[in-house]
Structure 1
């Protein structure tokens, strides 16, 4: 499957496997994400998400 960029990680907490992502496209629980940066390159399945501390199953871009 071809990869596409869906957002940018603004903060990542490795000890928790938690990231704050500024989305440019939709993301949902169960999606596999590829994290690639200066010192990281790995894939992970999205197991949970929150927006403002509220659990959600899907997040969409808030682009205008």
Structure 2
């Protein structure tokens, strides 16, 4: 997920945010890697590992 991203308030969605004011201990069970937007080298480095999903929100809902 990208730094400063927001994907909702459900358990798995909250795990994909790096905002400590809405993230909770229970959501830390998911291993999420956070990258800066436009960090193509970081993306290439992480995608070469064992990746399950890439979250892309092309149309913003609640967040904007």
> TM-score, normalised to structure 1's length?
0.26
Structure number with higher strand proportion: 1
Structure number with higher helix proportion: 2
> TM-score, normalised to structure 2's length?
0.26
